Structure 1
């Protein structure tokens, strides 16, 4: 039986999708057109399972996009909008985003802009998308080398997180999602942080997924438009997004979660210096991140570019860079503004 999270905005199902409300939603769109947006990997590994499980998908149009973060851009959006027009998709129709965080971010943005908004459903197939990208209503695309510079807040009608899709993920993608789960523990739940320590070598079950997703859902419900409380979810991301953008065009770009993990480590160091996190708790974070995640190819030569990327962060005001920092494990504080030289000391401590 799937576990449910019901909030003010939408419903989130965690568990077997064939035992969820998805079939009933499809029936409610029986006379509408349905479009599935997916990528090459998900089309190969996940789409056949859905297609054989739900008759209501037999007539769906399927748009298959190239894999990868580098394709999360406005040009891809334009191609999909052209296709939606060719299919004569109307506001009464339905888009189903089937894939990882790139697809849920991109597909949500495509749906929310097309004809000023068409209803959409997210079926995340990566751990990262289940615990983070598909929940909370943020959609967006990268622009001119910067992460998520174009986007809107738009909620899916429903989200269906089925752990069966995690079984085909490579290890680095599993670790990518675990970084966001670790973040949820660090900012809001010391018990979740401790429980995550047991899951290095295995996939999280639906109960653990439920705990992690519930933390984000509760925070989003308090502050949907990210004025205050929701900023806690940005822990690790000010530096993490800069790392991700810096490494995006490398031969082997790092995953979002890997960059967030190392971003959390730098920001934990900054939390010791500027927000009362204890040395002992910092060492706990350091030991875990350095043992779970491979080092990133970042050196002192990259620091100026990283700082320049951080200046583009949407949360900044003036010359100071805005951070969410830890007070202790399970307790984060927002709107901590730091100078460039203070940040560079943190980068130097972690990356040498």
Structure 2
């Protein structure tokens, strides 16, 4: 599978992953190599990764963080920065982030800020990280329950996608990552959307190509708008409401915490409904989108009192400007529109629509 050139990095796949990594290390000769893992990838992925890392004179240190979104915090960053300092990391050190989106987001932020920036490489081990989180240079941590409020855009040297790591994932994590793939189809490619929503026609061996296609879509968008001044905002479709829902369910103990993709799936249905009122999406397309998403994602129950809390959290969305909430909406399947303003009553209607499904 051919490698993909991003603006400042390269994405390698499967058989090329370890030869490219070992060649890079030999050529660049980092002073030390640090590998960031979480408690899951330490046990399930690190042994395979280390077995493919050629032994050499370069000292390697493994740093382990707790697993889960609730540990994507500046406190964990402090611990990683301190560990790197104690182990003598300098500006020629290399940080390898081996894990899902939490590890690649946080690890990228750690590397981009340690000594004003050291080189890092992402090795995504979850479907979500392979198709979204690890590509494009967005790094950062959460601020309380508010998603990705602190961070920088800074690409690593490369992304290494070894699909065999997906065998370590529970089904729920595979489903979570699938939401971002569906999003890629909805905002840019109707044929890709159709393929993803008719997977009964495909064999599991097609997963490699589907992941590759998602990375191509995201990379094309990011390359043309690296700092999210325009079209890159389309990647946030489903996220204005989805992130607020994810934060709300994370904040309240009586709510069952949602995985990122589960919240984004809800957000995409809600924002598709809003698209019929604001952006011209047809009712037929809304029906197709809702049915396509609910093939994979279970409905979540909302109470009426939840709506106001979720809408308050939307005020922290990073697309907002001058206190005005900005949505990404769909004009049609495969065509997105940015910077849309939406009246509150239509947002409330969207929740009623979702409840009726």
What's the TM-score bracket when you normalise by the shorter of the two chains?
over 0.9
Is 1:263 matched up with 2:267? yes
Distance 1:183 1:92, change over 3 A: same
Question: For structure 1, which segment, 314-323 or 138-147, has the greater mean C-alpha deviation from structure 2 after superposition?
Answer: 314-323
Q: CA RMSD in A?
A: 1.7
Distance 1:336 1:114, change over 3 A: same
Which residue does 2:82 correspond to in 1?
82
User: CA deviation digits over 1:119-154, x for unaligned, max 9?
Assistant: 000000000000000001100100032111100011
Question: For structure 1, which segment, 50-59 or 199-208, has the greater mean C-alpha deviation from structure 2 after superposition?
Answer: 199-208
SS in 2 for 1:296: coil
- Structure 1 unaligned spans of 5+: none
Which residue does 1:215 correspond to in 2?
217
Is 1:308 matched up with 2:307? no
Partners of 1:186 and 1:6 lie apart in 2 by 24
Partners of 1:82 and 1:351 lie apart in 2 by 47
SS in 2 for 1:44: helix
Which runs of structure 2 are paired with 1:87-98 in the superposition (5 Å)?
87-98=87-98
Which residue does 2:25 correspond to in 1?
26
Partners of 1:136 and 1:31 lie apart in 2 by 23
Which residue does 1:43 correspond to in 2?
42
Partners of 1:145 and 1:38 lie apart in 2 by 22
Which residue does 1:132 correspond to in 2?
132
Question: For structure 1, which segment, 133-142 or 23-32, has the greater mean C-alpha deviation from structure 2 after superposition?
Answer: 23-32
Which residue does 1:198 correspond to in 2?
198
Which residue does 2:282 correspond to in 1?
278
Which residue does 1:330 correspond to in 2?
334
Distance 1:79 1:160, change over 3 A: same
TM-score (norm 2): 0.94
User: CA deviation digits over 1:161-191, x for unaligned, max 9?
Assistant: 1110111211111111110000000000111
Partners of 2:227 and 2:355 lie apart in 1 by 34
Maintained 8 Å contact 1:29/1:93:
no
Which residue does 1:230 correspond to in 2?
232
Which residue does 1:141 correspond to in 2?
141
Question: For structure 1, which segment, 234-243 or 192-201, has the greater mean C-alpha deviation from structure 2 after superposition?
Answer: 192-201
What displacement does 1:29 show?
4.3
Partners of 2:156 and 2:206 lie apart in 1 by 24
Which residue does 2:105 correspond to in 1?
105
What displacement does 1:44 show?
0.7
What displacement does 1:19 show?
5.5
Which runs of structure 2 are paired with 1:175-190 in the superposition (5 Å)?
175-190=175-190
What displacement does 1:211 show?
0.9
What displacement does 1:198 show?
3.3
Maintained 8 Å contact 1:176/1:257:
yes
The number of residues matched between the two structures is 351
SS in 1 for 2:37: strand
Partners of 1:298 and 1:111 lie apart in 2 by 39
- Structure 2 unaligned spans of 5+: none
Partners of 2:110 and 2:30 lie apart in 1 by 22
Which residue does 1:3 correspond to in 2?
2
TM-score (norm 1): 0.95
Maintained 8 Å contact 2:277/2:346:
no
SS in 2 for 1:338: coil
Indicate which of 258, 262, 280 corresponds to 1:254.
258
SS in 2 for 1:149: strand
SS in 1 for 2:120: strand
Partners of 2:324 and 2:286 lie apart in 1 by 24
